[in-house]
Structure 1
Amino acid sequence: MRAARFHGEGRITVEEAAEPAPSAGEVTVRVVACALCGSDLRPLRRGWPFAPGHEIAGRVDQPGHAQHGQRVAVYIPVFCGRCEACTRGRTHLCESSRELVGWQRPGGYAEAVAVPERCLLPLPDDVPDHLAPLLLDTIGTTAHGVRLAHRLVQGGPALVLGAGPIGLGAILVLRRMGFGPISVVDPVAYRSGFAATLGAAPISPEAAASGRYALVVEATGKDAARQVALEAVGVEGVILQLGESDAWSVTETRSIRLKDFFLLRSFYFPIGDYAANLELLRADRADYARLVDDRAGLDGLEGLFAAFARGEKLKPVLAPGR
């Protein structure tokens, strides 16, 4: 089969690789779509030992298996199903395995990938291949975080910091869950302009920091955005941290110190959220479809990533068969 190799410094080649060799309890999935994610900019910069890619949709290719031929999305945490976290439904927080498909094991920037059976999420016929990956990070990760925040704040003005795929997904989820008005901060005109078409008002970081928001979604992983989040959150409001970074540093100011607020960190989503995430996609399908603004085959992946890294694409998708 063919698979992408990430060499670092933005260089990607497509090479012949061995076919997946599924272990017991695993199957081969032929990849039909794998969405690009901002977190994949790390392997793009640093290089990676195997093909990354963690927002995968495909078809089970395991003759004789009960799910052979079935269309699926891939749940990336390789959970055990037995530990306390799993038995309580928190499969994304499995205590026995911290492996993630596309990170600690080969992912979807390839023609095929080996996937644990319990990580197969059946795709209904009304979800097309190119939109299926949105059920994972763009909807799944953001919706889980907003659901957690909803336990503390049930509505009100919201601020989204970063209009990449997670930030744009957050705008749609916030809108559907009754938050508003929604403001957004992003320095890239293309992304902030698109956010405006979803109903979020683009504002400056300075204007955001002087606001008082019931819910602030930090979707960049950047120190500057985290500083704004701490300044912008209102009394007894919530900061939902979705952006990732290796380390972070902020300055505690007087306006931060003299208020009560909640800081909430959220990671991915429990597998039990899948049905609800499907309903979110169905409810706002036309807007989610607009996020997928480009598609390419494996030979076009390097160019697709270059445009994505420059902020010229919102949620491009690799389609290995193109």
Structure 2
Amino acid sequence: MKVARFHAPGDIRIEDAPEPVAGAGEIKIRVRNCSTCGTDAKIQKHGHHHIRPPRVMGHEIAGEIVAIGDGVSGWSEGDRVQVIAAIPCGTCEECRRGRMTVCPNQESMGYHYDGGFAEYMVVPAKVLAVNGLNRIPDGVGYAEASVAEPLACVLNGQELARVGEGDDVVIIGSGPIGCLHVRLARARGAARVFLVDLNAERLAMAANLVNPDESIRGDELDVVDEVLKLTGGRGPDVVITAAASGVAQQQAIQMAARQGRVSFFGGLPKDAPIIQCDSNLVHYRELTIVGANGSSPQHNAQALRLIAEGSVPVSDLITHRLPLDQVLDGIGIVTRGEAIKVTVEP
């Protein structure tokens, strides 16, 4: 079979590999869709400290079961399934307290285990142990199901930021995550949603799809001033930084309304993780700043339900569909901001 393997930064190869075999406690699937994300672009450029090459990449995975290992019950060949990306251990203190997104023993598909940029892959026993394999609801395609993983991350972020009825929400970053944040905020009852980006072309493409109440070009306008104008000087109830930008995080604190919530959804580069924070704004406005780290297995299941119900449409966000041998082209498209969502169809 064909796979896309990471060997070193700048060295991802399309290679032949033997088909994997499902061992005890495992399930083998035929990958139907594995979508790409900005993390894949970071791995291509810089690698990742959790990846020991060679490693098959890809973590937004949907496919069908083709073989079931010994000791596995409740599944059948032909079942359509979606696979979680982040794998909590399920047994540590954080997991026992229901905080699976911050499990200190977390592993990941495409990092610790071979991922979905392959024709076939094995779902590890650890995934099954935490209910991390989900049936795809009827009426939901494989490509849509693969987007359940990033939507699960967005869901975790908005739960932590308490996005709710009547909120004004600003989302900084108009990539696939930003678009999913717009749609989920609306589904959670937000009154108005504003979308911000420096990349004018991508912002226009995203705005055409998700129709924010306002789209704000950060390359032309002072973002903080513009948001304050749009909110009558009050500021937004929630600001979500769906971009790896320290400037965006600083702007979020500056613009947030009294008792506003700021979500640092996008992590910063390892060599520039420090921002300037006006602590008095946090103090006197009673701001809440929260992080967001991936998703839990339960978030993935809930994301699939939201897609199936039509609460958060995702099919139109998939702007590019590519075969496996063009995965590098797909990562390049993501890196250049020329797409919303790119999916690979092995």
| Cα distance in structure 1, aligned partners of 2:239 and 2:96 | 31
| Cα distance in structure 1, aligned partners of 2:68 and 2:301 | 27
| Structure 1 residue aligned with 2:319 | 293
CA change 1:105–1:92 in 2 (3 A) is: same
**Contact 1:54-1:76 at 8 Å conserved across structures:** yes
| Structure 1 residue aligned with 2:236 | 213
**Contact 1:237-1:261 at 8 Å conserved across structures:** yes
| Cα distance in structure 2, aligned partners of 1:248 and 1:187 | 20
Match of 1:276 among 302, 319, 322: 302
| Structure 1 residue aligned with 2:79 | 70
| Structure 2 residue aligned with 1:108 | 116
Task: State the secondary structure of the residue aligned to 1:307.
Answer: helix
Q: What does 1:1-322 correspond to in 2, within 5 Å?
A: 1-6=1-6, 12-47=12-47, 49=53, 50-63=55-68, 66=73, 67=75, 68-95=77-104, 97-116=105-124, 117-118=128-129, 119-137=132-150, 139-150=151-162, 154-197=165-208, 198-200=210-212, 201-205=214-218, 206-210=221-225, 211=228, 212-245=235-268, 246=270, 247-253=272-278, 256=281, 258-284=284-310, 287-320=313-346
For residue 271 of structure 1, report the CA deviation from its aligned partner.
2.0
**Contact 2:100-2:296 at 8 Å conserved across structures:** yes
Task: State the secondary structure of the residue aligned to 1:293.
Answer: strand
| Cα distance in structure 2, aligned partners of 1:63 and 1:22 | 6
Q: CA RMSD in A?
A: 2.4
Task: State the secondary structure of the residue aligned to 1:62.
Answer: strand
For residue 207 of structure 1, report the CA deviation from its aligned partner.
3.9
Task: State the secondary structure of the residue aligned to 2:143.
Answer: coil
TM-score (norm 2): 0.83
CA change 1:165–1:249 in 2 (3 A) is: same
For residue 163 of structure 1, report the CA deviation from its aligned partner.
0.7
For residue 103 of structure 1, report the CA deviation from its aligned partner.
1.8
TM-score (norm 1): 0.89
Task: State the secondary structure of the residue aligned to 2:259.
Answer: strand
Runs of 5+ in structure 1 lacking a partner?
none
